Amino acid sequence: KEPLVWPILAHEIGHAYLLLPEINEKIEKDLAPVISETVRSICERVERGRENLEYFLSRSWYQWLMEIGADLFALKRAGPSFVRVLAFELMASDPFSLSLIRDGPWIVSTHPPPDLRVRLIIRHSLREFPSLSRSMSALEELWKREVTSRISNTLEERRELYDLLCSNKILRSLEAKMVNLLGEVACLEDASILPLEDILSSSKFSVTGALLSLTFEECSTEDFVNKLSKKIRQEVLRRG
Radius of gyration of the chain (CA): 19
Question: d(Cα 17, Cα 203) in Å, to the nearest integer?
Answer: 7
pLDDT band, very low/low/confident/very high, at 1 (cuts 50, 70, 90): low
Q: What is the pLDDT of residue 71?
A: 95
Q: What is the pLDDT of residue 157?
A: 65
Question: d(Cα 61, Cα 59) in Å, to the nearest integer?
Answer: 6
Phi and psi at 100, nearest 5°, equal -80, 135
What average pLDDT does range 204-231 have in this prediction? 45
What average pLDDT does range 100-107 have in this prediction? 85
Q: Rounded to 10 degrees, what is the CA torsion of 197, 121, 112, 4? A: -60
Q: What pLDDT digit, counting tens, does each position of 199-211 carry?
A: 445 444 443 343 3
The contacts found for 49-54 with CB under 8 angstroms, 24 or more apart, are: 52/106
Q: How far is CA 131 from CA 128, 135, 189, 190, in A?
A: 9, 9, 12, 15
Q: What pLDDT digit, counting tens, does each position of 130-188 carry?
A: 888 898 999 999 998 888 776 655 566 677 788 888 887 889 999 999 998 888 665 54
